[in-house]
Structure 1
Amino acid sequence: MAPVNQTVSGMTQVLNRQQAIGIRRQPPRRSAGFTLIEAALATVIVGTGVLAIVSAQQAYHKKNDWAQRSSTGFFLANELREMTLTLPMHDPLTADTTVGPEANEDNVRAFDDLDDFAGVVSAGKGAGLAFNPPINALRQQIDGLPGWQQTIVVDSILADNISSTFVQPLGTTDLMRATVTVTYQPPGAQQATTINRLVWVVGED
């Protein structure tokens, strides 16, 4: 019969082997929560997404602002064109003997011909007129458009060179060219930006 000590020792070895096998078979336990690398990676991903959304919104607002300004600029330029569309080139009474506004035409409501919009004429060239606040086709000021300005310049041109910057003395040709420039100066800006320019040519009947 085997000694008791040997039997106990053998059983202890068997238990130790079983425990060792059981320990090896158990999957390693993972502590709850995120590691530092995982947290940093998540922060980078979320931050990149937020930055992309903010950039997209800024681009949308810029495009939307420009679309609104472009529409306003076209509207203001067309208002001056509509105002002058039915006017003759020269004064109905004095014809082309007087260019620019006549003595009794001291404001835009009194203008009755296109060359009145040339403004003060010097050496055959008009200085042009600026309207700020802008005006509509009925010659009324348009409220609610701060920073906007319409400028109109009237020149006499030759039929074979209507786009030339070398114009003729005002009232000496059968064609006149009107150029309307619409500018906008946002609050805080140092200078105005040209939003629209409209050009048309008028001839004598």
Structure 2
Amino acid sequence: MIAMAWLAWLRAFSRPPRSIQRREERVYPVSAHPLDIAARDAILEGLLVAFPPRPIEASGVTGGLPEVQWLRKELAGVAWPDIEAEFVRNQADVLPLLGPAEYLAVLPAWLRAAVNEPGSDTADAVLAGLEYPPERLDGFTAEQREVVVEAARFILANNGRGLDTVNEEVLEGIERAWTSRKPQSSPG
């Protein structure tokens, strides 16, 4: 009896610190409508076209926390298509920590993960970040902004909750935020 209590206590206190534990991903039920694979694939292709893969210069990550230093090291020199879905899942809420150049460089990886799993916590975190974006939008082209809004529409329509009143308001906020600022002209 004492040995079992000791074992339970030992297990409770031998977990890694919360900052390095893996995140438990919550996935909502699939939408009542089947996922439109062709639409999903078109958005994923649009991400590749609008956001050409380039190595990330992670010098703009802000803050001095160990997690931020680790993030800076992990993202340096990686192109967004090479960022694995599991990394995005475990770091779903880090977009606010990124500087403008890094935000532009990695947002497509977060969008890809959200489009592939529209009912996930990752998708919710991405949508929250899209609705209230900071000045980071200044570097996005019109084509990139359009793909971001299309991805948001797809995620909201397929997240298992559908385009209810709340999701419609979220989509309106995203559309307003991503279309109200003058985009950077496309490189010619």
Bigger radius of gyration, 1 or 2?
A: 1
Higher strand share goes to which structure?
Answer: 1
- Does the alignment reach a TM-score above 0.5? no
Higher helix share goes to which structure?
Answer: 2
Select the structure with the greater relative contact order (CA < 8 A; seq sep ≥ 6): 2
* TM-score normalised according to structure 1 size: 0.23
* TM-score normalised according to structure 2 size: 0.25
